[in-house]
């Protein structure tokens, strides 16, 4: 049963986050913060042959921020970098069963962290 403004899917990803943690020697890493609410997300990528073979995240924030990061990692694992770059915050929010309007920025933060981590990887590769 949904609690307050959050769907059961958001609650599940908050209480049982997927792929949480840090990754040593990540191929791509980025940290993005939202100064308005103080949330911070870090995404770590392990990449082989332009494909995301592993992903981890650490998020300091509310239930929506943690759930958005968790869902983002689930949606990009196994995808090519170009496929992962097509992921939008709207898709993340939809997969979570919707987010309250006041929490939409949480899915945006997850998307921005993903894009920045891929950019970090490509910079390291000289691309």
Report if residue 1 sits inside a domain. Answer: no
Report the CATH number that the domain containing residue 111 is assigned in CATH.
3.90.1010.10
Report if residue 115 sits inside a domain. Answer: yes
* pLDDT tens, residue by residue, 82-92: 999 999 999 99
pLDDT at 106 over 80: yes
Q: How many angstroms separate the most distant Cα atoms in the chain?
A: 48
* Domain residue limits at 92: 8-124
Q: Active-site residue numbers?
A: 37, 106
How many structural domains is the chain composed of? Answer: 1
Residues 6+ apart with CB under 8 A from 25: none
* pLDDT tens, residue by residue, 24-78: 999 999 999 977 778 999 999 999 999 999 999 999 999 999 999 999 999 999 9
Q: Measure Cα distances from 66 to 49, 80, 102, 122 in Å.
A: 29, 23, 15, 26
């Amino acid at each position: 049963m949904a609690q307050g403004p959050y769907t059961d899917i958001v609650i599940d990803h908050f209480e049982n986050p997927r792929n949480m943690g840090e990754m040593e020697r990540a191929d791509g890493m980025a940290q993005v913060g939202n100064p308005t609410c103080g949330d911070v997300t870090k995404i770590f990528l392990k990449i082989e042959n332009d494909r995301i073979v592993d992903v981890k995240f650490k998020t300091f924030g509310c239930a929506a921020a943690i759930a958005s990061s968790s869902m983002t990692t689930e949606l990009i694992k196994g995808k090519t970098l170009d496929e992962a770059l097509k992921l939008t915050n709207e898709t993340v929010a939809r997969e979570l069963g919707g987010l309250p309007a006041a929490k939409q920025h949480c899915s945006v933060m997850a998307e921005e962290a993903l894009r920045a981590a891929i950019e970090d990887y490509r910079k390291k590769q000289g691309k």
